[in-house]
A = this chain, B = another copy of it.
């Protein structure tokens, strides 16, 4: 249980401590002979440099701290991938920490991260108060992902939720839908822009917005649909606030004997791995998550290197991923027509059942399937 130090390595390799230090830092001014001797000794001893001592002595850090508000959400995993990629590339190590969506825990996580004196901090969708963030930003560069800030020392990376919602509405309208409801994300992150984008897009098409209060869970999506059905105001298309909500909505629709997309089209938001599952095959809005991570890490490293002092506000454009939960609205009353729908006439057969559409899936999906199968 003893961790070897430079001294041990130096002794074993028959050189001085200083030389070991040079080798460890990859200095070119070391003879090949000694270098390999040192490396060999280090390997045999299982030695690796003591990051803390190193950073203490050099007054620099090669560590990037990342606070993930919710590890359960695969969204963040992909952002971390992007961060990791850039960081590794530039010789930085990443340490992660989670706040469990609780402000108190998150605060503690932040403290903990700060106590390592990392070169910089990336906060993924933090829920701590803005003051805690700007306080941290006084000590080191901070980048926020999926949360905005007005602090000039803090950089931000976000998706343009208004554009995303508009993409979804445009898609549905182009399919012929007119009655499109939005299941709203309430207080959730990014719910605001998505709602605003939806309303604006509807109005620009001369359509009447129908915002239904909901939440970012599948249970909430199902509840919202049930209330629409019982109120007899079910539209022909649904734009959910996120994928979870959309999946819940689909379940409730199917429970009610309605077909998706035959009777009702559904669009999600986020393009989580869930949406890509063939069993779900959800039309949704994709956010360039890995790109979020790359941009965040890039921005942070610029600050770390003091290459920039002006704040940068990345606003990434989401994109539409069409899968099998959207189709033109039923244009005529079906033989097994639902009493909930007000669209008149036509045969819904032309819109196809979901399984019939199945083979039309995009190649993109297959790759995502692979990607998320995971080791379990």
Measured CB to CB, the residues of A under 8 A from B are 1-3, 46, 48-53, 55-56, 69-78, 80-81, 84, 88, 93-98, 100-101, 105, 108, 111-112, 114-117, 125, 127, 135-136, 138-141, 188-190, 215-220, 222, 242-245, 247-248, 250-252, 254-255, 257, 270, 272-274, 277-280, 355, 358, 366, 369-376
State how many angstroms separate the Cβ of A271 from the closest Cβ of chain B.
11
Sorted from nearest, which 7 A-B pairs have the closest CB atoms?
Answer: A217-B373, A52-B52, A51-B115, A71-B77, A96-B96, A251-B279, A251-B278
Complex CA–CA separation, A76 to B116 (angstroms): 24
Known contacts being A219-B366, A279-B251, is A375 close to B188, with CB within 8 Å?
yes
Known contacts being A50-B117, A115-B50, is A81 close to B100, with CB within 8 Å?
yes
Report chain B residues within 8 Å CB of A279: 218, 247-248, 250-251, 254, 279-280
Asked whether A375 lies within 8 Å of B69 as measured between CB atoms, the reply is yes
Report chain B residues within 8 Å CB of A273: 72
* Other-chain contact of A72, B48, B125, B369, B372 (Cβ < 8 Å): B372
- Chain B minimum-CB-distance residue to A69: B375
* Other-chain contact of A95, B96, B127, B250, B372 (Cβ < 8 Å): B96
Report chain B residues within 8 Å CB of A125: 375-376
- Chain B minimum-CB-distance residue to A303: B1
- Chain B minimum-CB-distance residue to A137: B1
Given contacts A69-B375, A72-B78, A96-B97, 10 further A-B contacts (CB under 8 A): A2-B139, A46-B138, A50-B115, A52-B53, A70-B375, A95-B112, A216-B374, A220-B373, A248-B278, A274-B277
Report chain B residues within 8 Å CB of A76: 71
Asked whether A278 lies within 8 Å of B218 as measured between CB atoms, the reply is yes
Asked whether B52 lies within 8 Å of A56 as measured between CB atoms, the reply is yes
Known contacts being A46-B139, A101-B375, is A369 close to B77, with CB within 8 Å?
no
State how many angstroms separate the Cβ of A316 from the closest Cβ of chain B.
15
Report chain B residues within 8 Å CB of A69: 375
State how many angstroms separate the Cβ of A157 from the closest Cβ of chain B.
15
State how many angstroms separate the Cβ of A29 from the closest Cβ of chain B.
24
Report chain B residues within 8 Å CB of A252: 278
State how many angstroms separate the Cβ of A280 from the closest Cβ of chain B.
7
State how many angstroms separate the Cβ of A123 from the closest Cβ of chain B.
13
Report chain B residues within 8 Å CB of A53: 52, 56
- Chain B minimum-CB-distance residue to A80: B71
Known contacts being A72-B77, A95-B95, A250-B279, is A114 close to B372, with CB within 8 Å?
no
* Other-chain contact of A255, B93, B274, B280, B355 (Cβ < 8 Å): B355
Instruction: Name which of A97, A105, A116, A373 has the most chain B CB atoms within 10 A of its CB.
Output: A373
Asked whether B244 lies within 8 Å of A374 as measured between CB atoms, the reply is yes
State how many angstroms separate the Cβ of A55 from the closest Cβ of chain B.
6
Asked whether B3 lies within 8 Å of A373 as measured between CB atoms, the reply is no
Instruction: Name which of A56, A95, A242 has the most chain B CB atoms within 10 A of its CB.
Output: A95
Report chain B residues within 8 Å CB of A188: 375-376
Complex CA–CA separation, A69 to B1 (angstroms): 24
Report chain B residues within 8 Å CB of A254: 279, 355
Asked whether B94 lies within 8 Å of A97 as measured between CB atoms, the reply is yes
Asked whether A278 lies within 8 Å of B56 as measured between CB atoms, the reply is no
Report chain B residues within 8 Å CB of A96: 95-98
Report chain B residues within 8 Å CB of A370: 217, 219
* Other-chain contact of A244, B48, B52, B373 (Cβ < 8 Å): B373
Complex CA–CA separation, A84 to B112 (angstroms): 13
Asked whether A218 lies within 8 Å of B375 as measured between CB atoms, the reply is no
